[in-house]
Amino acid sequence: MTRILLLGGTTEAGAMARALAEAGLDAVYSYAGRTSKPVAQPLPMRIGGFGGPEGLVDYLRAERITHVIDSTHPFAAGMSRNAVAACTATGTPLIALERPPWAAQPGDRWLHVPDYAAAARALPGDGSAVFLAIGRQNLQPFVGLNHVWMLRFAEVAAHPLRDATLIVSRGPFTVAGDMALMRRHAIAHVVAKNAGGQAAQAKLAAARALGLPVVMIDRPVLPLRRVVATPAEVMAWLHGADRGV
């Protein structure tokens, strides 16, 4: 009997959960639990990590999971690596549902960097205002730099940066709104991670319109796995797996 583990926490995972529920499939939705008010899902939910790849192996066996769908955030590299390792160890079929990355458009001034530390090094340290649009988990490399910061979180949270203004707001955002925000805070640089998707893309269009440079953190390199872009492709994969394809 098919029993699916959906590793979620993204808009795409929500759409995948709805597709699984509508198909009447036995599935559980797992997410890290980093927000205090998660979006309700139409599947049974579990919160928190698994305790590394070994813990995930134990969970897959204990729960008799037959298929794993990884629809975590593109920068949740640790969870994705653990999923590959655990599914390899148990022989569990794995597919990743992943939004395509953003691509630079004419007029963009992107500087690609491989990680957060490189992004911090790429800033000029001249006291200018920076829209640091990378969430709250990876701010440490920017501590002590000579900049004024604008942060935007989905909810109020502590952070380690001095001279920072915290904007509490949830997407999707608009280009006009982000342009106004950047003008109001005299933003000179934007730092973003290439998450892809529509909800947070407005800041890039706003930076393009204002002629602002963007330090773009590229996605982490992950082990080889099957990757698709839509829930329909995942459903086709599940049906194919049931037929032994």
**Helix or strand run (H / E) with residue 113:** strand 110-113
Decide if 71 is inside a domain. yes
Q: Supply the range of the domain harboring residue 51.
A: 4-100+221-242
Decide if 34 is inside a domain. yes
pLDDT at 35: 64
Tokens of 39: 């979006």
Q: How confident is residue 138, by pLDDT bands cut at 50, 70 and 90?
A: very high
Residue-wise pLDDT tens digits, 95-113 = 999 999 999 999 999 999 9
CA nearest neighbour of 74 among 172, 171, 197: 197
46 and 130 within one domain: no
Instruction: Determine the distance from the C-alpha atom of residue 161 to the mean position of all C-alpha atoms in its chain, rounded to a whole number.
Output: 22
76 and 140 within one domain: no
CA nearest neighbour of 2 among 66, 45, 51: 66
167 and 133 within one domain: yes
For residue 18, give the 3-state DSSP assignment.
helix
190 and 114 within one domain: yes
Decide if 35 is inside a domain. yes
Q: Which CATH number does the domain housing residue 143 bear? A: 3.40.50
Decide if 105 is inside a domain. no
49 and 137 within one domain: no
Is residue 105 within 8 A of residue 129, CB to CB? The reply is no
Average pLDDT for 16-22: 98
Q: What is the DSSP letter of 48?
A: S
Q: Which CATH number does the domain housing residue 17 bear? A: 3.40.50.720
116 and 186 within one domain: yes
Angle at 25 between CA 24 and CA 29, to 5 degrees: 115
The count of structural domains within the chain is 2
Residue-wise pLDDT tens digits, 165-192 = 999 998 889 999 999 999 999 999 999 9
Q: How confident is residue 1, by pLDDT bands cut at 50, 70 and 90?
A: confident
pLDDT at 245: 41
201 and 234 within one domain: no
Decide if 193 is inside a domain. yes
Residue-wise pLDDT tens digits, 66-86 = 999 999 999 999 999 999 999
The torsion angles phi and psi of 46, rounded to 5 degrees, stand at -125, 150
Decide if 95 is inside a domain. yes
CA nearest neighbour of 162 among 122, 212, 187, 127: 127
